Chain A
Amino acid sequence: MRYLITLTRTAQPETPPPAELMSAIMRLGQEATEAGALVDQSGLRGLAAEVEVVGGKLTVSDGPFAEAKELISYAVYEVRDEAEAVEWANRFMKLHREMWPGWEGVSRVYPLMTF
């Protein structure tokens, strides 16, 4: 079964992301690849534009956006069940908690439709 796992930041500390967090994330990605589970991923280069419909009116805005809650990255996992997808998200978030004090965020696990 296929799952989309997103990462959204909700609170950003003053400190830059520690190098050890980056290498730990790389290691976890390698582990998930060697487990045959991680099948696609990408970081987002920020928000480029919003195209919105409100009250029958279409608005296009192209920023800059001062979003506190920012979508940072996504990953696609192919695993045997939901609990496994949640476990990978759990490991990913644990790294953030342990290695970047003050950082807050949420990982969301969405089952994807496949036909």
Chain B
Amino acid sequence: MGSVDPIRTVEAVWRIESAKVIATVARMTGDLGLAEESAQDAFVLALESWPAEGVPANPGGWLTTTAKRKAIDQLRRQGVYEEKLRELALRPPPGPEPELLTLIFTACHPEVAVEGRLALTLRLLGGLTTAEIARAFLVPEPTVGQRVYRAKTALRKVPIELPPAEELPARLASVLEVIYLIFNEGYAATSGESWTRTDLCFEALRLARVLAALMPASSEAAGLQALLEIQSSRLAARVGPGGEPVLLADQDRSRWDRLLIRRGLEALARAESTGVLGPYGLQAAIAAVHARALTFADTDWARMADLYRLLAHVAPSPIVELNRAVAVGMAEGPEAGLAILDGLPLTGNPHLAAVRGDLLERAGRAEEARAAFREAAGLTRNAREKALYERRANPGSS
């Protein structure tokens, strides 16, 4: 029996508290870069002193107080402390809203380019290092460093506060989008071989949980949480033993994570009870139709088709139409699905060709189906997808 390594304890406390520490100092000084540096300084001090003196009774409070002091020291050294105090005195005092929420909205500010928002959110809210973010997004480290630098520069002219009521819907949309993009970055390319990709999914799910807990009255925050809980429940089942993708229809549903499904359905119920479902809530409702079906054949396709029709209404896009064609094709027959595909502006999209191939095959139009799968195989840049489409273009030849 050994005791827990004190350094690991400090690191764990840091991961739990760092975003709140940065948020508090950022609100106090109005300077995000200074807040991050001061928080880092406090962490280094904790690493030096806690292992010998023990973890303080209120570790989060200790880190915050120390970081505030470091920030003031820094301002004094730059000779701008008095000026800063005057400037702060003119500003309205911080409201009662949680600092962490303010930090989330600031990191996802529309003044910052989208890649910058992703990097800054992972860094400030997730505590990821620049190197970890670079590995996760498969880009060079200096690229991430530049994105963070530009993001912080763009944020210098932005007050660190919650958006006013009239801006809230648009600003919230940006926050939801950032979390969703982080998740998709991990989900889209998950191949089982790269641990950082699954970590991205987990971090996005965690952020969605944080946001939903901090904004209990927001239907879309609950909707995004529901969507990510349910999507995450399938992470293990959607990759085969050789790393190949396993389609929803073929997944072993006993490997779906029941705890995450239950949490997803609960969050969806919260989203429904706090307002009319928005784009994320509707996508969660669609994911829930799959989650509730014991087998692929049990899927309630009529409900799915209805939900896609609503989604196409609130968030129209050709991809939504493509998915609606699949659902309608299952609910009402392949010809009805094919009718939706006609005229979709998705020329050159391999998934459109594959969906058409599938519908044609089920309509008994074998020759046209094979041609569609050949087209899909020629269009995709994903090797595993290409193999799948080629098999379907040449049935019986494997």
Given A34-B100, A115-B236; A78-B12 close (CB under 8 Å): no
Selected from A40, A80, A87, the residue in CB contact (under 8 A) with B9 is A87
Which residues from A are CB-within-8-Å of B5? Answer: 83
Partner of B12, one of A34, A36, A39, A87: A87
Q: What is the CB-to-nearest-CB distance from B17 to chain A, in angstroms, rounded to a whole number? A: 9
Asked if B210 contacts A39 (CB within 8 A), the reply is no
**In the complex, are the beta carbons of A114 and B210 less than 8 A apart?**
no
Q: Is B344 interfacial (CB 8 A cutoff)?
A: no
**CA of A28 to CA of B355 in the docked complex: distance in angstroms?**
49
Interface of A, secondary structure class, is mixed
Contact, CB under 8 Å: B207 / A83: no
Rank and list the top 7 A-B pairs by shortest CB-CB distance, nearest first. Answer: A36-B209, A83-B12, A36-B206, A83-B8, A87-B12, A84-B12, A34-B213
Which residues 98-133 in B have Cβ within 8 Å of A in the complex? 98, 100
Partner of B213, one of A33, A76, A81: A33
A39 to B213, CA, bound (A): 12
Q: How far is the CA of A95 from the CA of B100 in the complex (A)?
A: 24
A35 CB-CB contact with B under 8 Å = yes
- Mask for B210-231, Cβ within 8 A of A = 1, else 0? 1001100000000000000000
Determine which of B16, B202, B205, B259 lies in contact with A87 in the assembled complex, contact meaning CB atoms within 8 Å. Answer: B16
The reply to whether A114 and B206 contact each other, CB–CB distance below 8 Å, is no
CA of A37 to CA of B263, assembled, Å: 13
Q: What are 28 A-to-B residue pairs whose CB atoms are below 8 Å?
A: A34-B98, A34-B213, A34-B214, A35-B16, A36-B205, A36-B206, A36-B210, A36-B213, A37-B16, A39-B209, A39-B259, A39-B263, A40-B259, A40-B263, A78-B206, A80-B15, A81-B8, A81-B12, A83-B9, A84-B16, A86-B4, A86-B9, A86-B12, A87-B9, A88-B16, A115-B236, A115-B255, A115-B257
Tell me whether B331 is interfacial, beta carbon within 8 Å.
no
The reply to whether B259 and A76 contact each other, CB–CB distance below 8 Å, is yes
CB pair B236 A114 closer than 8 Å: yes
Would you call B83 an interface residue if the criterion is a C-beta within 8 Å of the partner chain's C-beta atoms?
A: no
A1 to chain B, nearest CB (A): 9
- Whether B13 and A35, one on each chain, are in contact in the complex, defined by CB atoms closer than 8 angstroms, is no
Interface size on A, residues (CB 8 A): 20
Instruction: Convert B3-41 into 0s and 1s, putting 1 for each residue whose CB lies closer than 8 angstroms to a CB of A.
Output: 011001101110110000000000000000000000000
Which chain B residue has the least Cβ–Cβ distance from A76?
B259
Instruction: Write the A78-109 contact mask toward B (1 if CB under 8 angstroms, else 0).
Output: 10110110111000001000000000000000
The residue on A at minimum CB distance from B57 is A94
CA distance A25 to B259 in the complex (A): 23
A83 to B12, CA, bound (A): 6
A37 to B17, CA, bound (A): 12
Q: Which of B100, B205, B214, B259 has the most CB of A within 10 A?
A: B259
CB pair A114 B257 closer than 8 Å = yes
Residues of A within 8 A of B100 (CB): 34
CB neighbours (8 Å) of A87 from chain B are: 9, 12-13, 16
Interface digits, B117-154 against A, CB 8 Å rule (1 contact, 0 not)? 00000000000000000000000000000000000000
Which A residues touch B236, using CB under 8 A?
Answer: 114-115
Interface string of B265-303 (1 = CB under 8 A from A): 000000000000000000000000000000000000000
Q: How far is the CB of B58 from chain A (nearest CB, A)?
A: 10
Segment 27-79 of B: residues with Cβ below 8 Å from A: 57
Closest A residue to B19 by beta carbon equals A35
What is the CB-to-nearest-CB distance from A35 to chain B, in angstroms, rounded to a whole number? 6
What CA separation (Å) do A36 and B13 show in the bound complex?
A: 14
Q: State A101–B236 Cα separation when bound (angstroms).
A: 46
- Residues of chain B lying within 8 A (CB to CB) of residue A34: 98, 100, 210, 213-214
Q: Complex formed: what's the CA distance from A48 to B120 in Å?
A: 51
In Å, the complex CA distance between A36 and B208 comes to 8
- Determine the chain A residues whose CB is within 8 A of the CB of B202 once the complex forms: 78, 80
Interface hits, B185-205 → A, CB 8 Å: 202, 205
Task: For B236, give the chain A residue with the smallest CB separation.
Answer: A115
Residues of the A chain whose Cβ atoms lie less than 8 Å from the Cβ of B13: 87
Nearest chain B residue, comparing its CB with the CB of A112: B259
